[in-house]
Chain A
C-alpha cells in the first residue's frame, strides 16, 4: 500500500467513526439535531439521485421532487389508515422505487428529443402537474386527501424493532430518530456504492458521452434513447426510495412538502457541490441542509439582541443565500465546490468573447 493510499484509508476510517458517533453527540445537544441530521441524509439521497440525471447524463431536471413525492405517497398509501393497508417497510420501498421509476420513464419518454434548457422547463412543468394532482385527487374518490395530506403513516418496523420508539441496547439508549439515522446511513452507503459502480461502468461512460456530445455518442454506437431513459428511471427510483423513507420518518405528508422550491433546492445542492462528482454532491447536500438550521440558531438571536425583534426571517435569508449561491457558483466556480475532473474541463472551456 502506498503512503497516499494509507492516508486515504485513515481518512475513510475517521469519517466512518465520525458518522457512527455523530447521533450520540447530536443527541446531547438535542433530539431536534438528530432529526436535522436525518433530513440532511434524506437530501443527500435526493441529491445523489438527481446527480445521476443532471451530473452524469447532463439532463437538467427541475421537477425532480415529483419522484420524491411519488415515493412518499406510495409509502403513505400502502402503510397508513387511509386505505387500511399496512404493508411492511421492506415490501413498500421497492414498490415505491418502481413506481417512481415508471414516472421517470413517463417523463423521459416524450421529452427525450429535447435538450438542455427546454428539458429543464418541461420537467418543471411535470413536477407542477404531479403536485397539482396530489392536491386535487381528493375528489371524486378520496385518494390523496388533497391539501390536508395523509396522517398516521406507519413507522419503519424491521423484525421486532420499531423505529419510532427508543430502545435500550446494551445499556445505551437509542432513540427513534437515531435508529432512522443509522437506517438512512445504510441506505445512503448503498446508494453511494451503486452510484460509484454506475459511474465507472459502461452505462456511466455512455451517460458521460451523451452529456459531452449526443450526436457523437450516437455515432459511437450508444443507444442514446434507452441510456437516457435509464438515467431518468434510475434517478427517479432513488428519489422514490428517499420519498418512502421521508414518509416513514415524518409520519405525515402533504403536497406542501413537494413544491417547486424543493426541486430547486436539490438542484442547488448538486450544482453547488459539483455536478457529476459524488463527494461534491454529498458536500453540497450537507452544506445546504444545515444552512437553514445554522441560520435559525444565529440569525434569530442576533436580531433579537440587535433590534429587539425579528426583522428578517431566517427562511428568507436561507432562500436569498440559495439564490445568491446559484448565481455566484455559476459565475466563479461553474463546476461546483468539488468539481469532477471532466465537468471542470467542460465548464471552463474557452468562452466566446
Chain B
C-alpha cells in the first residue's frame, strides 16, 4: 500500500509536468491542427537556460528560491523567442499546405534546436546545484518532497491561470474563434496571425516552466531530454483529447500516474515465479524470473498513445476526431 501511494505521488508530480507540456501541444493543435514536433525541444531549451543561470547565481550565493525564480524568469523569454521564430519562419509560410508539410518542417526545427543546444551546452549533463534543502513530508505512508509539493501547486496555479486566459480574456476569445474558423475570425476583426503567434508564445512560456520543473525534479538537464518528454506530453494531450485544454490537464496527470504505477508494478506482475511458471533454478529460494522490469517504463506512454488512438481517437474529453482529414 505504501508503494502504491508513493508511486501515486511520484506519478502525479511527473504527470503535472506532462500536463503543462501537453498544454503547449494541445493549444497549438487546437488552433492550427499542427503537431508542433519541436515543442519538447523548447522545454529542453528552457531547462538548459534556467540551469545555466541557476548555476551561475548559486555560485554567487543568492537565496535558493530567488535563484530558481530568476532562472525561470530568464528561461521564459528565451523559449518565447524560440517559439515565435519557429512559428514565423518554419510554420506560418506552410499554413494551408498539405498537413505533412508543416509536420516535416517541425521535425526539422526540432533537430535544429536539439543540435544548437548541443553546440551551446555540449553533450554533458548539467547538474542542478544542491541549493534546495531536501525536506520530505510524510503523507499516508509515502514521502513527498518540497520540490514535489511546489511542482504540484505551481501546476494547478498555471492551469487555473490558463483557463482564465482562454475563457475570460479578449485574447482567449480570439484564440477560440480562430480555432473554430480562422477565415470567419479574420472577418470579425481578429488578427489571426497575431493570435496564432501568441498561442505559440504562451505554450513556450509554459514549456520553459515545465523545463525548470522537470530539471529540478530529476536534478539534471541535457540536450536530449526534450524528445522523449515531448513525446510523452503529446501522448498525454492525445489521451485527454487533443485540442482540448482541460483534456491536456487530465491526460497529463493520468499518464504520469499510469507510468509510475506501471513502472512500480510491472516487475511484480510479470514475475513468472509468482504464477509458478518460472524455471526452477531461478525461482528457488524466493528468486525471481521477471519478464519485464521497470526499465520498460518508457513503453507505457507509447502504448497508451496507440491504444487511445485506436480505440478512442478523440481522447477522453475530446470532441475532435483524430482521423479528420
Question: Are A and B physically bound partners?
Answer: yes
Residues of A bordering B, CB below 8 Å: 58, 60, 62, 110-111, 113-118, 120-122, 124-126, 128-129, 132-133, 135-136, 139-140, 214-215, 260-261, 264, 267, 271, 312, 316, 319-320, 322-327, 329-331, 334, 346-347, 349, 351-353
With A136-B293, A312-B119, A326-B105 as given contacts, are A121 and B110 in contact (CB-CB < 8 Å)?
no
Point out the residues of chain B lying under 8 angstroms from A117, CB to CB: 34-35, 99-100, 103
Determine whether the beta carbon of A323 is less than 8 Å from that of B234.
Answer: no
Determine whether the beta carbon of B310 is less than 8 Å from that of A322.
Answer: no
Determine whether the beta carbon of B323 is less than 8 Å from that of A125.
Answer: no
The residue of chain A having its C-beta at the shortest distance from the C-beta of B297 within the complex is: A132
Q: Fill in one digit per residue for B177-221: 1 if any A CB lies within 8 Å of its CB, else 0.
A: 000000100000000000000000000000000000000000000
Point out the residues of chain A lying under 8 angstroms from B94, CB to CB: 330-331
Determine whether the beta carbon of B234 is less than 8 Å from that of A136.
Answer: no
Cα distance, A117 to B98, chains bound together (Å): 11
Cross-chain contact of B95 among A115, A140, A334, A351 (Cβ < 8 A): A351
Point out the residues of chain B lying under 8 angstroms from A323, CB to CB: 107-112, 115
Point out the residues of chain A lying under 8 angstroms from B116, CB to CB: 320
What are 19 residue pairs bridging A and B, where the CB atoms are less than 8 Å apart in the complex?
A115-B325, A116-B99, A116-B103, A117-B99, A118-B309, A118-B323, A120-B100, A121-B35, A125-B235, A126-B302, A136-B292, A264-B111, A319-B111, A320-B115, A324-B108, A326-B111, A327-B89, A330-B101, A347-B97
Cross-chain contact of A322 among B108, B228, B292, B313 (Cβ < 8 A): B108
Point out the residues of chain A lying under 8 angstroms from B101, CB to CB: 330, 334, 347
Cα distance, A334 to B100, chains bound together (Å): 10
Residues B284-323 near A (CB distance < 8 A): 289-293, 295-296, 298-299, 301-303, 305-306, 309-310, 313, 322-323
Residues of B bordering A, CB below 8 Å: 34-35, 89-90, 93-105, 107-112, 114-116, 118-119, 183, 227-228, 231, 234-235, 238, 272, 282, 289-293, 295-296, 298-299, 301-303, 305-306, 309-310, 313, 322-325
Cα distance, A58 to B325, chains bound together (Å): 13
Determine whether the beta carbon of B231 is less than 8 Å from that of A124.
Answer: yes
Cross-chain contact of A113 among B289, B295, B310 (Cβ < 8 A): B310
Point out the residues of chain B lying under 8 angstroms from A349, CB to CB: 98
Cα distance, A122 to B239, chains bound together (Å): 13
Determine whether the beta carbon of A351 is less than 8 Å from that of B90.
Answer: no
Point out the residues of chain A lying under 8 angstroms from B104, CB to CB: 60, 267, 271, 326, 329-330
Point out the residues of chain A lying under 8 angstroms from B105, CB to CB: 326-327, 330-331
Cα distance, A126 to B305, chains bound together (Å): 10
Cross-chain contact of B310 among A111, A128, A214, A319 (Cβ < 8 A): A111
How many residue pairs link A and B with beta carbons under 8 A? The number is 149
Determine whether the beta carbon of A122 is less than 8 Å from that of B118.
Answer: no
Point out the residues of chain A lying under 8 angstroms from B272, CB to CB: 140
The residue of chain B having its C-beta at the shortest distance from the C-beta of A331 within the complex is: B93
Determine whether the beta carbon of B103 is less than 8 Å from that of A60.
Answer: yes
Cα distance, A136 to B310, chains bound together (Å): 26
Point out the residues of chain B lying under 8 angstroms from A114, CB to CB: 309, 313, 322-323
Cα distance, A253 to B107, chains bound together (Å): 27
Shortest Cβ distance from residue B32 to the other chain A in the assembled complex, whole angstroms: 11
Cα distance, A260 to B325, chains bound together (Å): 26
Cα distance, A312 to B112, chains bound together (Å): 14
Shortest Cβ distance from residue A141 to the other chain B in the assembled complex, whole angstroms: 9
Point out the residues of chain A lying under 8 angstroms from B111, CB to CB: 261, 264, 319-320, 322-323, 326
Q: Knowing that A136-B296, A330-B97, A334-B98 are A-B contacts, what are 14 other residue pairs whose CB atoms are under 8 Å apart, sorted by A's residue number?
A: A132-B299, A140-B272, A140-B282, A316-B118, A320-B116, A323-B110, A327-B109, A327-B112, A330-B90, A330-B104, A330-B108, A331-B94, A347-B101, A349-B98
The residue of chain A having its C-beta at the shortest distance from the C-beta of B102 within the complex is: A330
Shortest Cβ distance from residue B144 to the other chain A in the assembled complex, whole angstroms: 29
Cα distance, A352 to B111, chains bound together (Å): 28
Point out the residues of chain B lying under 8 angstroms from A329, CB to CB: 104
Determine whether the beta carbon of B112 is less than 8 Å from that of A324.
Answer: yes
With A325-B108, A351-B96, A353-B96 as given contacts, are A113 and B298 in contact (CB-CB < 8 Å)?
no
Shortest Cβ distance from residue B53 to the other chain A in the assembled complex, whole angstroms: 24
Cα distance, A115 to B98, chains bound together (Å): 12
Point out the residues of chain B lying under 8 angstroms from A133, CB to CB: 299
With A128-B302, A129-B303 as given contacts, are A118 and B322 in contact (CB-CB < 8 Å)?
yes
Cross-chain contact of B108 among A261, A326, A334 (Cβ < 8 A): A326
Point out the residues of chain A lying under 8 angstroms from B296, CB to CB: 132, 136
The residue of chain A having its C-beta at the shortest distance from the C-beta of B295 within the complex is: A136
Point out the residues of chain A lying under 8 angstroms from B99, CB to CB: 116-117
Determine whether the beta carbon of A125 is less than 8 Å from that of B103.
Answer: no
Point out the residues of chain B lying under 8 angstroms from A316, CB to CB: 115, 118-119
Point out the residues of chain A lying under 8 angstroms from B238, CB to CB: 118, 121
Cα distance, A327 to B105, chains bound together (Å): 4
Determine whether the beta carbon of B313 is less than 8 Å from that of A113.
Answer: yes
Shortest Cβ distance from residue B108 to the other chain A in the assembled complex, whole angstroms: 3
The residue of chain A having its C-beta at the shortest distance from the C-beta of B232 within the complex is: A125
Determine whether the beta carbon of B109 is less than 8 Å from that of A139.
Answer: no
The residue of chain B having its C-beta at the shortest distance from the C-beta of A123 within the complex is: B306
Determine whether the beta carbon of A111 is less than 8 Å from that of B100.
Answer: no
With A126-B306, A260-B227, A347-B101 as given contacts, are A331 and B90 in contact (CB-CB < 8 Å)?
yes
The residue of chain B having its C-beta at the shortest distance from the C-beta of A214 within the complex is: B325
Cα distance, A327 to B87, chains bound together (Å): 12
Cα distance, A319 to B238, chains bound together (Å): 29
The residue of chain A having its C-beta at the shortest distance from the C-beta of B100 within the complex is: A60
Cα distance, A11 to B149, chains bound together (Å): 70
Point out the residues of chain A lying under 8 angstroms from B96, CB to CB: 351-353
Cα distance, A261 to B111, chains bound together (Å): 9
Point out the residues of chain B lying under 8 angstroms from A125, CB to CB: 231, 235, 301-302, 305-306
